[in-house]
C-alpha cells in the first residue's frame, strides 16, 4: 500500500488577527474618555483641532513632500491671522520648515533619492553669500544677528528639504494647481477689498499705514490675505508666470481652461495692488515667455490697454506714472550710495529695511530714522558691504544661467516648470531694483521653493509617491506608466 504523507495543518497568523480585533474595543473607550474629559474642561476646540491636525501630521510624517505642498498652500493666507489671531501661530512657518528638514533624515533608505546626484552650479555662490552674512552676523551679534540671518537665509532650508525629499511629477503638478487655486482666492479677495473700502477693513482689525495703504488720489491698495500690498502683488506675479506655460500647453485640461478664463481676475487683483515693481516684473517675465515660446502672448498687450480704459478715472495713471515716489527713491539712493563707498564692508546685517524695523520693535525703540532703501541691492550693500553685494549679484546671475541650462535639456512639464522659473528670475531681478524683494514674506519662501524644485529636476530624480507606487516597477514594460 502506498503511504500517504501526512498533511500538516495550515498555519494561520492568529495573533495579528486578534490584535486587530482587540485594537478597536480597547481604543474606543479610551478615546471616549479622553473626549469627555476634554469637553468637560472646555477643550472642545482643541479636540476639533486635534481631529483635523493629527491625520495631516501623520500624512506629512509618512511623506515630507506633503508638508512642502501644505506650506505652499498656507503661507499666502498667513495675513489672515491679523484679523483671526491664534495664540502661538506666529512661528508656524519656521516650525513646519524645521520639522520637514528633520523628517527628511528619517525617510526609509529605499525611498530616498540616489546618492551622488549632480549638485547645482549655483551652490558655490550661495555658500559664499551665506558666509558673508554669517561673518556680518558675528560682528553685530545678539538679536540683530538672529533676525538678519532668519530673514536673509532661513528659507534656504526649504530648498534643502526639497533636495533631500524631491517632489514627484504628480506632486509638482499638484503644486502648480495649488498656486492657481490660491492665487485665484487671493485675487478675488483683493478685488473685494476695493468694494468694501478701507473703513470696513479697518473695522475688521487691519491697521492704517502698516496694512491699509493708499496711493495717489487716496486709492486703496489691495493687500488681500497678506500683510501688505507688496507680497500680494508679487505673489500674483509668480502665479501668472507659473500658470501660463502649463495652461497654454494643454488646453484640453479643465484646470488650465479655468486658469486662462480667470486671467482677468488675476490681472485686476495685481492691478489694484498698485505695486509697480510687480507690474514691471510681470512684464519682463511675459516678454521672456512670449519671445521664447508663446509669441502670441504679445497680442494681449492691446487687449490690456483697452481694458485700462474702463478703470476708475485717473486711478491707474496716478499710481503708475506719478513721479513723486520714484523721485524720492532715486534721491535716497543717490544720497546713500556714498555710504557703501565709505563703509565697504557694510553696517551689519539687519541694519536697514524690515529687518531693522523688527529689531527696533523688539527693543521698543523708534524706527522712524531707519533707512528703507526700497532696493534689494542697495539694502545688501548697506548691510553686507561690497563683498555681500557682489555675492548676491553673482548668485542671481548663476541662478539665471543655470535655469536656462536646465531648461534646454528637460522635456514636458519639467521644461515648462523650469521655463516659468527663468521668467520669474528675470522678473525678480528687475523688481528687486525697486523693492526689497528678498526680505518680503512669503516671497522668500517662494523663491527657495522654486529653486529647490528646479534643482531636483536638474538632478533627474523621480521619487515614488508612496509605498504602493513602487509596485509598477515589477510590471511588464508595456504596463508601466509612461510620462511625457
* DSSP result, 422-465: HHHHHHHHHHTTSS-GGGSTTHHHHHHHHHHHHHHHHHT----S
Q: Which helix (H) or strand (E) holds 219?
A: strand 219-221
**Nearest CA-CA partner of 86 in 68, 104, 69, 74:** 74
Peptide bond into 442 cis (omega under 30): yes
pLDDT above 60 (res 88): yes
Cell numbers for 474: 515589477
Of residues 336 and 448, more confidently modeled:
448
Within 8 A by CB and 6+ apart from 238, the residues are: 179, 424, 443, 446
Report pLDDT for 230.
95
Weakest mean pLDDT among 23-27, 65-69, 327-331: 23-27
- Report d(CA 59, CA 78) in Å as an integer: 22
Task: Report whether 93 contacts 75 (CB < 8 A).
Answer: yes
Of residues 426 and 116, more confidently modeled:
426
Task: Report whether 475 contacts 186 (CB < 8 A).
Answer: no
pLDDT above 70 (res 235): yes
Q: Which helix (H) or strand (E) holds 202?
A: helix 169-204
| SS3 call for 290 | helix
How would you write 150-178 as a 3-class SS string? HHHHCCHHHHHHHHHCCCCHHHHHHHHHH
Number of separate helices (H) and strands (E) present in the chain: 19, 2
Cell numbers for 35: 473626549
Q: For 307-325, write each residue's pLDDT tens digit.
A: 555 555 455 555 555 555 5
Residue 190 pLDDT level (bands cut at 50, 70, 90): very high
Report pLDDT for 364.
65
- Report d(CA 239, CA 17) in Å as an integer: 50
Instruction: Tell me the sheet residues that pair with 306.
Output: none
Task: Report whether 288 contacts 415 (CB < 8 A).
Answer: no
Report pLDDT for 469.
44
**Nearest CA-CA partner of 133 in 317, 373, 346, 336:** 346
Cell numbers for 79: 495675513
- Report d(CA 23, CA 358) in Å as an integer: 51
Cα-Cα-Cα-Cα dihedral sign, residues 143, 149, 155, 158: negative
- Report d(CA 418, CA 424) in Å as an integer: 10
What is the overall mean pLDDT for the chain? 82
Q: For 341-395, write each residue's pLDDT tens digit.
A: 777 788 889 888 778 888 777 766 766 567 778 889 989 998 999 999 999 999 9
Question: Region 429-442: what's the mean pLDDT?
Answer: 93
Q: For 117-148, write each residue's pLDDT tens digit.
A: 888 989 999 999 999 999 999 998 888 899 99
Amino acid at each position: 500500500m502506498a503511504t500517504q504523507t501526512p498533511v500538516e495543518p495550515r498555519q494561520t497568523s492568529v495573533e495579528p488577527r486578534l490584535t486587530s480585533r482587540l485594537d478597536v474595543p480597547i481604543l474606543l473607550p479610551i478615546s471616549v474618555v479622553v473626549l469627555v474629559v476634554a469637553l468637560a474642561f472646555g477643550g472642545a476646540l482643541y479636540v476639533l483641532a486635534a481631529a483635523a491636525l493629527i491625520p495631516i501630521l501623520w500624512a506629512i510624517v509618512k511623506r515630507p513632500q506633503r508638508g512642502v505642498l501644505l506650506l505652499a498652500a498656507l503661507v499666502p493666507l498667513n495675513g489672515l491671522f491679523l484679523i483671526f489671531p491664534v495664540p502661538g501661530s506666529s512661528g508656524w512657518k519656521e516650525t513646519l520648515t524645521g520639522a520637514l528638514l528633520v523628517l527628511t533624515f528619517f525617510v526609509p533608505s529605499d525611498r530616498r533619492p540616489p546618492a551622488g546626484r549632480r549638485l547645482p552650479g549655483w551652490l558655490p555662490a550661495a555658500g559664499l553669500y551665506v558666509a558673508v552674512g554669517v561673518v556680518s552676523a558675528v560682528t553685530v551679534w545678539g538679536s540683530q544677528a538672529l533676525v538678519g540671518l532668519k530673514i536673509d537665509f532661513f528659507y534656504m532650508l526649504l530648498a534643502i528639504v526639497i533636495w533631500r525629499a524631491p517632489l514627484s511629477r504628480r506632486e509638482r503638478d499638484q503644486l502648480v494647481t495649488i498656486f492657481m487655486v490660491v492665487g485665484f482666492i487671493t485675487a478675488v479677495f483683493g478685488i473685494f477689498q476695493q468694494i468694501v473700502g478701507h473703513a470696513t477693513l479697518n473695522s475688521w482689525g487691519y491697521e492704517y499705514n502698516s496694512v491699509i495703504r493708499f496711493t495717489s488720489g487716496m486709492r486703496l491698495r489691495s493687500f488681500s490675505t497678506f500683510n501688505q500690498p507688496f507680497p500680494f502683488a508679487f505673489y500674483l506675479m509668480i502665479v501668472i508666470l507659473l500658470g501660463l506655460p502649463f495652461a497654454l500647453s494643454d488646453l484640453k485640461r479643465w484646470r488650465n481652461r479655468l486658469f486662462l478664463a480667470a486671467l482677468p481676475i488675476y490681472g485686476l487683483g495685481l492691478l489694484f495692488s498698485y505695486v509697480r515693481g510687480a507690474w514691471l516684473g510681470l512684464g519682463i517675465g511675459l516678454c521672456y515667455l512670449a519671445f521664447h515660446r508663446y509669441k502670441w502672448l504679445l497680442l494681449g498687450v492691446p487687449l490690456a490697454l483697452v481694458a485700462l480704459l474702463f478703470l476708475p478715472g485717473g486711478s491707474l495713471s496716478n499710481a503708475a506714472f506719478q513721479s513723486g515716489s520714484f523721485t524720492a527713491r532715486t534721491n535716497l539712493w543717490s544720497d546713500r550710495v556714498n555710504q557703501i563707498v565709505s563703509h565697504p564692508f557694510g553696517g551689519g546685517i539687519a541694519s536697514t529695511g524690515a529687518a531693522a524695523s523688527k529689531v527696533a520693535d523688539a527693543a521698543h525703540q523708534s524706527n522712524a530714522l531707519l533707512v528703507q532703501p526700497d532696493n534689494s541691492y542697495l539694502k545688501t550693500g548697506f548691510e553686507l558691504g561690497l563683498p555681500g553685494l557682489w555675492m548676491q549679484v553673482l548668485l542671481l546671475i548663476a541662478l539665471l544661467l543655470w535655469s536656462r541650462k536646465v531648461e534646454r535639456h528637460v522635456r514636458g512639464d519639467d521644461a515648462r516648470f523650469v521655463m516659468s522659473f527663468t521668467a520669474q528670475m528675470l522678473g525678480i531681478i528687475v523688481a528687486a531694483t525697486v523693492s526689497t524683494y528678498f526680505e518680503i514674506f512669503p516671497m522668500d519662501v517662494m523663491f527657495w521653493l522654486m529653486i529647490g524644485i528646479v534643482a531636483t529636476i536638474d538632478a533627474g530624480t523621480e521619487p515614488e509617491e508612496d509605498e504602493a507606487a513602487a509596485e509598477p516597477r515589477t510590471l511588464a514594460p508595456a504596463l508601466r506608466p509612461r510620462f511625457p
